[in-house]
Every structure is written in C-alpha cells, then in structure tokens.
Chains A and B, each alone.
Chain A
Amino acid sequence: MSDPLDEPAPATHPATGLDDVVHQRVRLGILTIAHEARRVEFGFLRTQLELTGGNLSQHLGVLESAGLIEVEKGYAGRRARTWVTLTDAGQAALAEEIARLKQLIVRVETADGR
C-alpha cells in the first residue's frame, strides 16, 4: 500500500487522482447506469453499452472485485437474471470521477484561455 503522504494532493492536478478502475469508458458507463437506475439487469447494460456478454462480465468482475458494485443472480420466471447494484463505495467513486473530469475540463479551458 502506498503512503498517502507520497500521493500528490488532488488539487494540484486532478488527472493524477483518476482511478483506473473507474476511468474507463465501459466501467464508467456501468456505474452511471447503475446509479441512475438504482438496480440494473445484465441485458440492459449489454444493450446500452453495445458489448458482448463475455466482455461485460469481465468489466463487472473488475468492478465487483473493487467493491464498487454488487452482483445478484436470480430468476424471473424461468429466465435467469443478473442484477447489478451500486455499493456506497461505487457511488462515491462515480461522484469522484465526475468531479475530477469536470476539474480537468476547467483546467484545460483555463489553460487554453491564457
């Protein structure tokens, strides 16, 4: 584990604080949809993100390992269903990622304006 004192302060440059688990188009999409929907089914994610089932499963595995989502398997009638829910850590990570993206945009625009 790295020493927190060695980490640069987020205020100095927001890009240094970006989390690789979240700062990825598909995983950011999964977190966004799960946040907005409260609870989302595997099939909806696959359709909206235009992924194969295997690819989506890999991304879900990364997020689940990081504790950002919970995956729940069940049945609706005879159909197997997989539901994804955002954890509190996932909510925080998504909010942090969006805040940092906005900071980056402000910094880039400020730099361009000089």
Chain B
Amino acid sequence: MTAEPIPAGGDPHRMLAHVRHLTRRVRVAQRVTWLPLLVLALVTFAAIPFHRYGTQVLGCTVIPNGQVCEVRNTAAGVYWLVALALSYVAIAYGYLRAARARGLGGRVMPYVVTGIALAVLSSSGLLLIVHEGWGRAIAESPDPPNGLTLFLFRVVEVGSTIGMALLVLAWLERHLALLLFTVGYLAVVLVPLDFGWNAHWGGFTWGFLPTLLVRGGVLLLGGLGFALAQRPWRHR
C-alpha cells in the first residue's frame, strides 16, 4: 500500500480540514440550483391562464365603500397542486440524473418531499379559507384586515410554499447564495407592495398578473444567474 497512516501527532486538524474540504466539494458537485428555479418560474408563468379564465363570480354584496364580490377559482387551485407536484418530481429526476452523470448520488429528496407537502398544505389551507367563508367575512367587515391577517394569508399562499421549500434546498446544499436569493424571493412574496396594481389592473380579472409576473421573473432571473454561475464547474 502506498499511502500510510498519518502519525497522530499534530494531524487531527489536517484530517478534519481534509474531511471538510471533501464534503464541500461533493456538495458543490451535487448542485443543480438553476433547475428548480427555472422549472418553478415556468410553472408560475403557466398559471396565468388558469388565474384569468378560471375565476367564477359567485355573487356580489353592496358595502358602504362599494361592493364585495365572492369569487372562486378552483381551476387555479387544482393547477397549482398538480403543477407543483409534477414540478418537484421533474426536479428530483433532473437532480438525480445530473448527480449520476457526475458520479454521485443525490440529496434532493428532502426538498422534494417538503415542496410537495407544503403544496398540499397550502391547497388545503386555501380550500379551508374558501369553505369557511373567512375571505368574504374579512372583506365584508367594516374594519380593514389587520397586518397579521394579511400576512397569514400570504404565508399559506403558493408563492410562500415555493420559497419555504427553497429554504430547505439551501440548507441541504449548504448554499449561502441560494439562501440569500430565497430570502429576497420570500420578501417579494410576503411584503405587501403592489404599487397600486390591484386598483389599475382590473381587480379579479387581471389583478393577479403583476404578482405572478414579478414572482416568475424573480425565479427566472435567479435560475439564469445560477446557471451562469455554475456553468464553469461543468466544463472543468
């Protein structure tokens, strides 16, 4: 045998540094960060027709400041559940295939399981809100909804579940850049900045569009950025 055991004196630091170095190299080699971001961007853009043409107006009620209409969009709800489940399956397949081509196994399954579980929870939460009529109760209330209520609505939204699953991926990959990107994405999803979009984009007919375009755009730009950043590794 050519390699002999390293004498114990003074070498534990070196051995542990060796372990950490190799661990990091494996994690970097396993990354295909652009894939989930691009897939989820496409899924977000593809949701536009479901949001536009799937909305049904169930009835309107006059309130002091105007009227409140009860709308339901089952098509979009079903779309998101099916599309996200299929996306995560595709992402898992892509990750494992890429890792295998590089001579490695994958570690993406916790991300995929989390993503699907959150998508199911989000859909269940939104169905519960519609079924119990909480959305209409808040809209018909003379007092505007408080910040916490609006925040909780945004947390159970599909955009937040995408972000929370990405946090799991950042942790799995020990990927600081992805963590920072995801925090930025979640800020876009959770912070109520609409620049008056809802008032000027036709309410429930096109009011959803800027939100989806911004979220999809952020994911798309992130995916392209990571694809460019990870490209040199593929040619090494």
What residues of B have a CB within 8 angstroms of the CB of A23 in the complex?
5-6, 8, 15
Knowing that A28-B18, A38-B105, A55-B3 are A-B contacts, what are 6 other residue pairs whose CB atoms are under 8 Å apart, sorted by A's residue number?
A: A23-B8, A29-B22, A37-B104, A37-B107, A44-B103, A58-B1
User: How many A residues have CB within 8 A of the partner chain?
Assistant: 33
A32 in contact with B105 (CB, 8 Å): no
Q: Which of A15, A28, A40, A48 contacts B105 (CB 8 A)?
A: A40
Q: A47-65 CB contact bits vs B (8 Å, 1 = yes)?
A: 0100000010011001000
The 4 closest A-B pairs by CB, nearest first: A41-B103, A38-B105, A44-B103, A39-B105
What residues of A have a CB within 8 angstroms of the CB of B4 in the complex?
24
Task: Name the CB-closest residue of B to A103.
Answer: B12
Task: Name the CB-closest residue of A to B3.
Answer: A26
User: How many B residues have CB within 8 A of the partner chain?
Assistant: 29
Task: Name the CB-closest residue of A to B16.
Answer: A101
A36-B103 in contact given A25-B15, A105-B13 (Cβ < 8 Å): no
Q: Which of B1, B8, B26, B29 contacts A18 (CB 8 A)?
A: B8
What residues of A have a CB within 8 angstroms of the CB of B30 in the complex?
37
B23 in contact with A36 (CB, 8 Å): yes
B106 sits at the interface (CB 8 A): yes
What residues of A have a CB within 8 angstroms of the CB of B1 in the complex?
58-59, 62
A28 in contact with B12 (CB, 8 Å): no
Query: Measured between alpha carbons, how far is A31 from B1 in the docked complex, in Å?
Result: 18
Query: Measured between alpha carbons, how far is A55 from B217 in the docked complex, in Å?
Result: 50
What residues of A have a CB within 8 angstroms of the CB of B19 in the complex?
28-29, 32, 98
Least Cβ–Cβ distance between A111 and chain B, in angstroms? 12
Q: B7-27 CB contact bits vs A (8 Å, 1 = yes)?
A: 010101101101100110111
A43 sits at the interface (CB 8 A): yes
